[in-house]
Amino acid sequence: MHRKFWIGTLAAAFLISLGWGFNQYRLAGDYRLIAENNNHRALTDFASHLDQLETDMAKGDVASNPTQKILYLSQVSSKSDAALKDFAQIPADQVGLSYVSEFLTQAGDFSRTLTQRIAGGEKVSAEEEKTLRDMHERLMPVNQKVQDLIVRMDTENLVWTDPTPTMRQRLGFGGTQIAEAAADGSEAPSKSVRSGFDQLDASLQKLPPLSYTGEYATRDVQNPQGLPSGEVTRDQAQALARDFLNKVGYLNVTPEFAGESRGVLGGYMWKYKDANLEVSRQGGVVTLYRDQRSIEPRTMSIEEASNKAKTALQALGWQLVLTSSEDFGSYVQFDAIAEKEGVRIYPDKVRLMIALDNGQLVGFDAVPYYAFHHSRTFPAKITLDQAVRKLRPNFQVLESRLAVIAKSGNQEVYSYEFRGRYQGEEYLLYLNASTGAEEKIQRIIKNPRGEFLQ
């Protein structure tokens, strides 16, 4: 009797565990399907926005009438922003922090710069026309590559990531053609969406940096002002990469060397599992980091993620102020800036991405900070009351502060920042703190994902 009882108990436990395991397997399959559908939607939207971006850039190059040129260049700006948001959700090794992302940022920035100048009555110079054509020529093969990936996904069932290498490939017997193609930018067919973007990224790295007047004229600035002095060796860079990974939650790991990047902000690239990071040769600081691990269903609120972002900044030794957030579903993107003597310094920016499943830092971009950070002295200013009197009478001020903002050509302006409401909408207005002249206006767009500036 006693024996039958235990056999029955064990059988029941086995059936319960079997049912639980099957349910977990089914849930895991559902999560994989959801993730794949989201990835496919992001890639499809990215391809659509990229195709329209290429068309609008071509029309902007052809247009001679100022009104038409403003129309198409403003559309280039908006489509580049939309493409960047979609691109950030595609599972490629350095999505959001790569040369593809850099190029899209520059295209939108240059278009905004030209739009502002034309609207102000200025003419586009022959050199700027040439830059616009150069950007369009670079964009065409990028667009073609992405459209090809879409076609291959539909016709060849192209996978998202490369299959796990066989033991024969790990020992070095075959299987290296695709990696070599990615390194030299050749057109060997990619085996996955990720390797396709890696090849595209590598081909863009071989091109010389674009030169133009704009807020993001080049990631590789001529003289980065924020990098520490001195150079580090490859071994020192590995130790710095290991220390960074330890601080973001990867303990006792040894990152693998993944190559070197170009430019004065470039250095040594490292990889650990799905995490990629870059340590600058000058100064030995981590400029870029992205973890492409699979993110489980969200369990955290935006406020909890904000606290995790602050904790991550402290752990990495940064003293910055969080200024904005954007919810991408599985993670939240935060911008953090420097503050000195109560003055917010927007050019000195660091971007963080916090996963909403466990609060881990999965993205970090300190390139703007190291490019533009330097010691600043602030000129004499008009009083806050004098600045307020220069605003239109019906503008309701909600917040005000002093700030340093960037304008075309990386020029910095010491200004008063006013956040306020006008006719039911919110805006950010920037007035020159020394002269009171209106420098910049941005409209604040609110939706469930966060606040956006136009």
Final residue before a domain boundary, out of 319, 343, 372: 372
Residue 214 vs residues 77, 106, 418: alpha-carbon distances, Å: 13, 8, 24
Predicted confidence at residue 18, as pLDDT, reads 60
29: which 2 tokens?
């399959």
Domain annotation covers residue 268: yes
Predicted confidence at residue 311, as pLDDT, reads 94
Torsion sign over Cα 252, 288, 227, 260: positive
Predicted confidence at residue 80, as pLDDT, reads 83
How many structural domains is the chain composed of?
3
388 and 358 in one domain?
A: no
248 and 194 in one domain?
A: no
Q: pLDDT tens-digit profile of 404-425?
A: 988 765 678 899 999 999 888 8
55 and 188 in one domain?
A: yes
Domain annotation covers residue 336: yes
Predicted confidence at residue 234, as pLDDT, reads 92
Q: Are 417 and 453 in contact (CB under 8 A)?
A: no
Domain annotation covers residue 169: no
pTM: 0.62
Q: pLDDT tens-digit profile of 271-315?
A: 998 888 999 999 999 998 988 888 888 899 989 999 999 999 999
φ/ψ (deg, to 5) at 217: -55, -40
d(CA 79, CA 109) in angstroms, rounded, equals: 11
Burial annotation 52-78 (CB, 10 A radius, 16+ → b, else e): bbbebbbbbbeeeeeeebbebbbbbbb
Q: What is the mean pLDDT of each run of 10 residues along the chain (454 residues)?
A: 58 60 53 64 82 84 81 84 77 54 79 79 81 84 82 74 50 38 48 72 62 48 80 93 92 89 81 90 91 87 92 93 85 90 90 92 90 88 92 90 79 90 89 89 75 66
Choose among 95, 34, 38: nearest CA to 274. 95
Choose among 198, 181, 187: nearest CA to 99. 198
Predicted confidence at residue 184, as pLDDT, reads 39
Domain annotation covers residue 23: no
355 and 253 in one domain?
A: yes
Predicted confidence at residue 205, as pLDDT, reads 60
Domain annotation covers residue 408: yes
422 and 312 in one domain?
A: no
Domain annotation covers residue 223: no
Q: Rounded to a whole number, what is the distance in angstroms from the first to the last CA of the chain?
A: 77
Domain annotation covers residue 5: no
Q: Are 418 and 444 in contact (CB under 8 A)?
A: no
Predicted confidence at residue 106, as pLDDT, reads 80
111: which 2 tokens?
């278009």
Task: Indicate the helix (H) or strand (E) that contains 132.
Answer: helix 126-156
334 and 406 in one domain?
A: no
The CATH number of whichever domain residue 247 belongs to comes to 3.30.310
Predicted confidence at residue 326, as pLDDT, reads 81
How many other CB atoms sit within 10 Å of the CB of residue 374? 11
243 and 365 in one domain?
A: yes
The CATH number of whichever domain residue 423 belongs to comes to 3.10.450.40
* Residue 139 CB-density burial (10 A; 0-12 exposed, 13-18 middle, 19+ buried): buried
Q: Which domain holds residue 67?
A: 28-162+182-205
Q: DSSP letter string over 140-171? A: HHHHHHHHHHHHHHHHH--BSSPPPPPHHHHT
Final residue before a domain boundary, out of 372, 399, 433: 372
CA atoms within 13 A on the CB side of 64: 0
Domain annotation covers residue 295: yes
238 and 195 in one domain?
A: no
191 and 46 in one domain?
A: yes
443 and 352 in one domain?
A: no
286 and 353 in one domain?
A: yes
The CATH number of whichever domain residue 201 belongs to comes to 1.20.120
Final residue before a domain boundary, out of 341, 372, 403: 372
Predicted confidence at residue 360, as pLDDT, reads 93
77 and 57 in one domain?
A: yes
